[in-house]
Amino acid sequence: MADHEISGETELGEYLGYMTLVLARSIHTVRNYRNDISKFLRYIDRRNLSFSTVGRADARGYLRKLKDHGVTDGSIRRIAITIRGFYIWLDSTGYSLSSVKGDSMLRLRTPKAAKRLPRVLQQTDVDKLLSSIVGDDAAAIRNRAVLELLYATGIRVSEITSIDLRDIDMNLMQVSVIGKGNKERICLFGEPAWTALNRYFEDARPLLVKGMQTAYFLNRFGQRLSQRSIQRLVSNAGIQVGIKTNVYPHLLRHSFATHLVERGADIRVVQHLLGHSSPDTTQIYTALSGSSDSEEIQTALKNARGSENFYKP
């Protein structure tokens, strides 16, 4: 370890504070950023370079070293983007960066990663999955509701575990969730999900709740159902119905989006429902489905599973 303050450490602390307080990034994300940028700062410190004068050539040398040590292309791309983001923030906040002309860290580039299409479930497999949980005990009723809501809305596992009682409107058949960047959005669900949620709320949740718990989905101890528990129940449901591939919550999200596009959903509607900040992120589902976009929002919503009778303009 260095016996002196490494150049850029103080500025890195300010940047991580900005990510936490302003951008509302998760603890996990901030930790990864700290790790990636700190390693780069230590690398240039060993070469007696300052964070404010280092250039693209130095950064590319660092990335080549990572490559030589067996770091994967995907990880190298992520690290390069992280380092460049730090320098973009430094520049935007007024720090003086004085690299050699034409060698600015703001222009650090990496080869584009090959796009990998996400896996999706066929509709028949989704139907089997949603019918996999049998029984009338509280856990079974809850698990059916979880599966139905995951597929009906395409929400992330972190979003479904954060749902409180106040977030679900059964009359409007919609749920409010907080997504990435602490952004709120409204997701709609159809009749199958409504039926499963209504039964959970009426018959199962009262058996699970203890005290004034506001979380919507509860475990057997009356506490908020964890992400790990939902990942486990989704995986077990896939195994139970004989789906050959590993089944996980995000696979249902990919399947939800792909099936919407296959049925004519406007890509902008799918973008909103998924909570994507850019349509470019959502565009990948058109490649999976092979379908073209529809122009009508009503069509997109009516084509969602079980939603034909609930959409009101």
> Lowest-pLDDT range, 32-41, 47-56, 290-299?
290-299
> Lowest-pLDDT range, 52-56, 122-126, 203-207, 211-215?
52-56
Find the catalytic residue in 180, 199, 263, 302.
Answer: 180
Please tell us whether the domain made up of 123-302 is placed in CATH 1.10.443.10.
yes
Per-residue pLDDT reduced to its tens digit, 289-306: 555 443 443 444 344 434
Judged against a pLDDT cut of 80, whether residue 279 lies above it is answered with no
Q: Domain extents for the chain?
A: 9-107, 123-302
Q: How confident is the model at residue 127 (pLDDT cuts 50, 70, 90)?
A: very high
**Known catalytic membership, residue 253:** yes
Q: Which token pair is 65? A: 């070293």
Sheet with 184-188: strands ordered across: 168-169, 174-178, 184-188
CA 255 vs CA 119, 251, 285, 291: distances in Å: 8, 6, 9, 14
Establish how many alpha carbons lie within 13 A of residue 306's alpha carbon, considering only the half-sphere containing its beta carbon: 18
| Phi, psi (deg, nearest 5) at residue 173 | 55, 60
Judged against a pLDDT cut of 60, whether residue 50 lies above it is answered with yes
Find the catalytic residue in 15, 33, 216, 285.
Answer: 285
Q: How confident is the model at residue 173 (pLDDT cuts 50, 70, 90)?
A: very high
DSSP 156-212: -HHHHHT-BGGGEETTTTEEEEE-GGG-EEEEE--HHHHHHHHHIIIIIHHHH--SS
Judged against a pLDDT cut of 80, whether residue 308 lies above it is answered with no
Find the catalytic residue in 56, 84, 224, 253.
Answer: 253
Find the catalytic residue in 60, 78, 199, 250.
Answer: 250
How far is Cα 9 from Cα 34, in angstroms, rounded to an integer? Answer: 10
pLDDT recorded at residue 305 = 39
Judged against a pLDDT cut of 50, whether residue 105 lies above it is answered with yes
| The architecture CATH gives domain 9-107 | Orthogonal Bundle (1.10)
How far is Cα 113 from Cα 79, in angstroms, rounded to an integer? Answer: 13
pLDDT recorded at residue 230 = 97
**Known catalytic membership, residue 250:** yes
**Known catalytic membership, residue 259:** no
Find the catalytic residue in 77, 199, 276, 302.
Answer: 276
pLDDT, mean of residues 50-68: 90
| Phi, psi (deg, nearest 5) at residue 191 | -65, -40
How far is Cα 59 from Cα 76, in angstroms, rounded to an integer? Answer: 11
Q: How confident is the model at residue 116 (pLDDT cuts 50, 70, 90)?
A: low
**Helices 249-262 and 227-240, interaxial angle, to 10°?**
70
**Known catalytic membership, residue 180:** yes
Q: Which token pair is 203? A: 């018959």
Find the catalytic residue in 25, 156, 224, 305.
Answer: 156
